[in-house]
Every structure is written in C-alpha cells, then in structure tokens.
Amino acid sequence: MRKLKEFVIEKLILICGLASIFFVALIFLFLLKEGLAVFKTVSPFNFLFGKSWYPISEPPQLGILPLILGSLLVTLGAAIISIPIGVGCAVYIAEIAPPRTKEALKAGIELLAAIPSVVLGFIGMVTLVPLVRSIFHLPTGLTALSGSIMLAFMAMPTIVSIAEDALYSVPKTYKEGALALGATHWQAIWRVMLPAASSGVLAAIMLGIGRVIGETMAVMMITGNAAVIPNSILAPVRTLTATIAAEMGEAVVGSEHYFALFAVGIVLFVISFAINVTADLFLHKRQ
Amino acid sequence: MVKFEIHDLNIWFGSAHAIKQVNMEVQSNEILSVIGPSNSGKTTFLRALNRLNELNVNYKITGAVELEREDVRGIEIEELRRKVGMVFALPLPLPLSIFDNVAYGIRIHGEKGKEKIEEKVEETLKQAYLWEEVKDRLSESAFKLSGGQQQRLCIARTLAVGPEVILFDEPCSGLDPISTAKVEDAMVKLKEKFTIVLVTNNVKQAARVGDKTAFFLSGELVELNKTDRIFTAPKDKRTDGYIRGKFG
Amino acid sequence: MKNPYRTQKIAFFFLFLATLLIVIPVGLIVVVIIQKGFPAINWQFLSDIPRQGMRAGGIFPAIIGTIYLVTGAIIFALPIGLLAAIYLSEYSKDNLLTRLIKLAIVNLAGVPSVVYGLFGLALFVVFFKFGASIVSGSLTLGIMILPVIITTSREALESVPYSFREVSLSLGASKWQTIRHIVLPNAIPGILTGTILGLGRAAGETAPILFTVAAFYLPQLPHSIFDQAMALPYHLYVISTQVPNVDEKIRYGTAFVLLALVLFMNLVAIIIRYKFRKKKKW
C-alpha cells in the first residue's frame, strides 16, 4: 500500500519536473498554430521587412519593420543607459560598499525589480514625459527616448544582480594576488576581477536586454505608439510588444490582424529564446 | 555465528577502484574494528554493508555482501537499513526535538501507538546512556545537546528501529576524550545484543574495544585477526608499520 | 603615467555615481507615489465601485479581481512548481534531460509577458473556450510565475544539508519519507518566500491579463470564475491612458494601492528569509 502510494507520488514528481519543458513547447506550439496562418497572405520576407503596418486597411498591410526598428531603437537607448550604470553599480555593491550599505543597496535593487511595469509606466507618463517634452521643445514627450530611460530602469535590477553575482563568485585569491603585487584596488577590479567575471557580466547584460525587449506596459504608455519607421530618438515609436498589447483587444479572432499579431509573438518568442539560451551558455561557461 | 559474508567484493567510484577483491566474515556479538589510513576504503566498505554507497551516482560494485547468507541486494532496502543501522562520523541529529529524533525511525517503520513509541524512546535512550541527562528536556531541540550527548542520541536513534548490526563510522572523531570514553562504553555493552562494525582512524580505540581488527590499505584488506594478535604479532609488515605509526 | 590612486578615486566616484543614479530615482518613485497617492486613500476609495466612467468612486472590484487572479494563479502554480523543484533537487541526475528542464525554466522566465498573454488567449480563451475569464487569466499568470516558484523552492530544498537525508535513509526511511518528513519541513520558509514573490509578480503584471480576463469597466464583482474581472494593474493602465480627465488623485491612489500590495508581499518574503537565516539550526 505504502509502496503504491510512493510509486504514484514519484511519478507525479517526474511529470511536474517535465512540466517546464511541456509549457515552453506548448507556448511555442500555440504561437505557431495561430501565427503561421498569416503567411498565407504575406510572405515571411515581406512580413519581416515590409515598411508599412496598416493592419486594418483593406487589404491589410502587414510589414513589421517599423515595429522591429522601434523595438531596436528603444532597446539600444535603454542598453546605452543601463549597461554602464548597471555594471558600475554591480561593481560598487560587490567590491566597494561596506557590508551594511551593501545589504541596503541590494534591498533597493530588489525593490526596483518588484515595482510593476504599469506603475513605472504611469510614473514615466506623469514625470518623465513632460520633462523630455520641455527639455527638447517637442510637440510631445511620448518618444523613444522616454521609453529608453524608463526601460533602462527595468533592465538595471537584472543587470546589477546577475553581474554582482558574477563578481562575487570570482575566487578571492585572484584579487588577493593582484593586490599582493602592488595593484590598487581599482586596478585589481579593472584588470583582474572584471575580466574574470566577464562571461557572467555579459550574461547579465544580455538578460537585461532581454527584459527590455519583452517589456510591454511601460513602453506602451510612454513611447507614443506611432507605427512608422522612426527617424530620431526624439520621435514617437511603437515596439513589437506594444503593438500586440494595444491591438489584440480589437483584433477579431481568426482575422489576418489576429494572425499577424501572433506572428509578432513568434518573433518575440524566438528573440527571447535566443537571448536566454546564449546567456545561459555564458553563465555555465563560468562554472 | 557468521553475520556478514563478503565475497570477492570490488567497488569503484567512476574510475577510482575503492575496494579491491575483499573476502571476509563478520561474526555476530562482537566488535570488528576496521583501521587504516584515510582513503584506504574503510568507510566505503562500511557503506557497502547497508548499501549507502548507492547514493553515489558513479558507483559500481561486483562480488557479494551477504547478510545471514542472503545477498543484501536481494533484501528490500528499507528493511536492510533497519536491520543494519549506522552511526556517522559527526554527530548528526535531525533538526527535531530530542524525543522526535529517536521517535523518527520508529514512526517511519509504521509504529503509531503513542505509548509504544514513548516506551521505546526511553528504553533506547537508556541503552545509549543518555536517559538520565535528557529525561527532563525531551522536547528541546537536539542541537542544544553537547557533541558527546548528540552522538549518544544518534546511537539511541539507531537502536530505536531495532537493528541487528550497528555500523560506526569514526563515531568519536569529533569528540573529546571523556565523551569518547562514554561512547566506547556504550559500544562494549551493545555488543552483547548486536553485531558491531567500527571504522576508526584511532588505532588505540581499535585496540581498546575491538574483538577483531581488520586493516585496510588502498582498498585492500591486508589483515584480519583477533585484535590482540594484530597488535602483538601482525603477520604483514604493512600492518606492523601502520600500528606503530610509521605511516597513515 | 597618471597617479594610480587618483585614477582609483575617479573610478570609484563614477561607480558611486552609477549607484546613486539607480537608487535616487527608485527612492523618488516610491516617495512620489506615497506622497501623492496616500491622501487619496480612504475607506470609500477602497470599498466602493468605480463611478462616473471611473472618474469617481473607488477601486474595490479591481482589488477583488486581483485577489481572485493571484489566488487562482498560486493554486495552479504552487503544487506543480513545488513538485518540479522536488524533482530537480532530489531525483534528477546530471544528464541531458535535467539540462533541458533547466533551460526550459530559464526560457519560461524570459518569455515576454505579452507573449504569455497571447498564449493564454490562444489556449485558454479560444482553444479551451473558457472565454475571457478569471480561469483563463489565473492559469496564464500561473504558468508565468512557475519559474519563480521552481527556482526559489529548489534553492530552499537544496539548502537542507545532505547529511540529514543520509541519516534518514540510513534509518530505513524510503526516499519519499525522507523528503516528506525531513527535507520539506526544513525548506518551508524558502518555499514560502518563493511563493510570495510569485504572488507579488502575478499581482503586478498587466500584459498577460489584457486579453485573458481583464475587463475595461465592470462596476460589479465577478460571480463565478468564468466571469471577466477588473484588476488593479489593468485599471491603472486604463485610467492613465484610456480615459480622459480622470482626477490625478484617483490615478495616484490606484498606483499607490498596487505598489503597496506588491511591495508588502516582497517585504513579507524578505522578512521570512531574514528570520529563517537567523534561526537556522545547522
């Protein structure tokens, strides 16, 4: 009797252990199921590189290049802001901050990670957007730049915590060796610690960027949502994620528009998959 | 009576050959001391008797360990480990109260009666010479006991499931001389009822409590004989060298 | 050659600056929301339904909707996540399958939240015909927080010393008995931490519920789990971007309640973790 019970439980544990694989496969499968239908009306090439996104015109024009470029622009801006600040903060926490400050800073970073993106979007709308508008004398502050700044804040917790981890796990002897040779603390960090932790730091940056590309609500609320190819960081843009979030509510199930939005989902899924697998490889290389 | 018979025992962990072609017997109601330098295969040998080696992933075994003429691999593993108890090198109380540490094994083996469990706990704590010291604080955490008390608690816990054999894996390595003496006393009393295999890196301890002593070196059984023979007239030069402290 | 100590001073100054550039805005965000949002909070705001096209009244249905969603998500994700964590910590061997599972978890954690929304729409709303409902939303959120629960639970299980398992097995306990009576009870604080973090994440997410459950304006409480519901994060989105002329107080008040809810859960998780670390017996 006990044997039977344990047999059942252990099988259940195995099944749940496999659940993650099952769900990833299921997500991909359902995205494909709904998204691939769009390629009956538009070729994959024209879908990815078509310059106009007018999904409800007749006939619909389903080119997502403006959205891809919108995402890229916002992401690039966010990366430029968040990478130096994030890695710098990670070095500060791992190497320089005294223990109590360190704990407080880590808690602060966790706090930032916990703030819902819709709240950050809201705050961006009421503070950052007017600021950007008045600084650059623009007709609207809903620009790629505003999105980049806000998204930088969403990437930072990821970058800081993973990079800090990577620095922390560099063997102490490396640093001690450098210091023993007469290097200053900074030289030890710059020439020894950071190179030794480089693959972890790289993974941190990639995962941070992954978070940015996938971010939806904040970006939708503050980038202005103009589905045109952006010509400046101070122009409104629309990202892949925001397009799905903003338009799926109106798309009729089974329409071209509906399929197209799922195809955008496939693109996002593939991007995040690639980023995560690569980052994972970097993290494992470290060990 | 012969308790364990070991035939052509070989054990590997990955490519490391930990036990090499060991043949021996373990008699009941006596203490067999197993001595040897570290990495000589003593603990691996001990863990072959209750199949605890199997927790290791790269483990491979040939030959046979027989408990009362039955191959241990044929015995249901929970039943084997109930019969062949083990006391570890460091005192390892479970994160439970003193009482529950001893009661844990009893409950695991299906005993539900509250009074029966209480009876058994008291009986085994007495056998381990711990009852007087803890009888008023049974509900306290076991981690509050001293190292020596913890180790005797571990002995009581092992006794509580009703073993026939008790394996001691360097049970005094973390203890001071007084605690060690108490544990040794307990062992000597226990052999009246149980078969005891004691792995120790303390040659003097083997001489004090062992009826027989086996000397392992690099996974081989060099010599097995009555303890006084081993210590007065060892047949093998290596045994002689080890007990005189020339290496190890 | 420059003076290395001067270089160090300059470098450290910039590192400190970088840290400030993160910390100060975070502090400001929290302070601003508290300062402007707290005065909006009163009993009526928390207990009343939205009125006049969400320009007045309270946010009660949104609070309740979020509670339903989060509860549903955890009912789904906790058992699966915990068992998956047990598998990884106690049963898995170092082989390709385990590697694949870990990779799958990393990927689940990285899938953009709006893609979860699409997935929930395709699977639960359309394929299983649950419609836009609390069930669909909860299941979507549940899958989304699965990696959080698995990862933290697994860490908690693995932090239980291996020797306890050996002792239990050596007494003749079966593997499951050992897990059930020795490993799990000692991992509970860590598992609880992970669960609460998952709850906080589920409570704050908007994109996954956009098309699976969220109602734009539904001034009543849901009657069954197959009803649509309002939810706090979506409500905040709606009143900040979709409805013109909403009083700033209501927006800040809603942001405050959402932030307070999420941060409170995180705080509880941090406290549990801290107390557990202090009390650790081994």
pLDDT in tens, A165-204: 999 999 989 999 999 998 999 999 999 999 999 999 999 9
| Chain C residues bordering chain B (beta-carbon distance below 8 Å) | 93-94, 163-164, 166-174, 177, 181-182, 186, 281-282
- Read off the tokens for B157: 């816990």
For residues C73 and C135, the answer to whether their CB atoms sit within 8 Å is no
pLDDT of residue B246: 75
What is the pLDDT confidence band of residue C129, given thresholds at 50, 70 and 90? Answer: very high
Give, to the nearest 10 degrees, the angle between helix C96-110 and helix C134-158: 130
Residues on chain B touching C170 (C-beta within 8 angstroms): 50, 52, 81, 85-86, 88, 158
CATH number at residue C193: 1.10.3720.10
Q: Which residue of B has its CA nearest to C95?
A: B57
**DSSP run (H or E) holding B11:** strand B2-13
Q: Which of residues 105-124 of A touch C (CB under 8 A)?
A: 105, 107-112, 114-123
Residue ranges making up the domain that contains C77: 59-277
Average pLDDT score over chain A: 92
Q: Which of residues 138-157 of A touch C (CB under 8 A)?
A: 153, 156
What is the pLDDT confidence band of residue C5, given thresholds at 50, 70 and 90? Answer: confident
C5 lies in some domain: no
Contact of C38 with chain A, judged by CB distance below 8 Å, is answered with no
What is the pLDDT confidence band of residue C181, given thresholds at 50, 70 and 90? Answer: very high
What is the pLDDT confidence band of residue C219, given thresholds at 50, 70 and 90? Answer: confident
Average pLDDT score over chain C: 91
Which of A28, A36, A110, A122 is best to mutate for the C interface (most C CBs within 10 A)?
Answer: A122
Give the three-class secondary structure for B196. strand
Q: Report how far residue A52's alpha carbon sits from residue A40's, in angstroms, rounded to the nearest whole number.
A: 18
C156 lies in some domain: yes
Which residue of A122, A217, A280 is in closest CB contact with C207? A217
Give, to the nearest 10 degrees, the angle between helix A198-214 and helix C96-110: 50
Whether C281 has a pLDDT exceeding 70, the answer reads: no
Q: Tell if the CB–CB gap between C108 and A20 is shorter than 8 Å.
A: yes
Structural domains in chain C (count)? 1
Average pLDDT over residues A131-160: 93
Domain boundaries, chain A: 44-283
Q: How far is A230 from chain C (nearest CA, A)?
A: 22
Q: How far is C44 from chain A (nearest CA, A)?
A: 22
Average pLDDT over residues A243-257: 90
Give the three-class secondary structure for A89. helix
> For residue C57, is it left (φ>0), alpha (ψ between -120 and 50) or beta?
left
Which residue of C26, C105, C248 is in closest CB contact with A108? C26
- Read off the tokens for C248: 């700033």
Task: Encode pLDDT of B169-187 as tens digits.
Answer: 999 888 889 989 988 988 9
Average pLDDT over residues A230-236: 88
Query: Tokens 């026939």 appear where?
Result: B164
Q: Tell if the CB–CB gap between A214 and C210 is shorter than 8 Å.
A: no
C32 lies in some domain: no
> For residue B218, is it left (φ>0), alpha (ψ between -120 and 50) or beta?
left
pLDDT of residue B248: 62
C235 lies in some domain: yes
C111 lies in some domain: yes
Respond yes or no on whether ipTM tops 0.85.
Answer: yes
A touches which chains (3+ CB pairs under 8 A)? Answer: C
pTM exceeding the 0.80 threshold for the entire prediction: yes
C51 lies in some domain: no
C282 lies in some domain: no
Q: Tell if the CB–CB gap between C169 and B81 is shorter than 8 Å.
A: yes
Give the three-class secondary structure for A236. coil
Q: Which of C104, C122, C266 is nearest to C201 (CA)?
A: C266
| Architecture, CATH, for domain A44-283 | Orthogonal Bundle (1.10)
**DSSP run (H or E) holding A155:** helix A144-168
Task: Encode pLDDT of B59-118 as tens digits.
Answer: 999 999 999 999 999 999 999 999 999 999 888 999 999 999 999 999 999 888 999 999
C24 lies in some domain: no
pLDDT of residue B32: 95
Whether C1 has a pLDDT exceeding 60, the answer reads: no
pLDDT of residue C2: 67
Which stretch of A12-26, B111-125, C208-222 has the lowest confidence by average pLDDT? C208-222
pLDDT of residue B243: 87
Q: Which residue of C has its CA nearest to A241?
A: C114
Average pLDDT over residues C209-221: 85
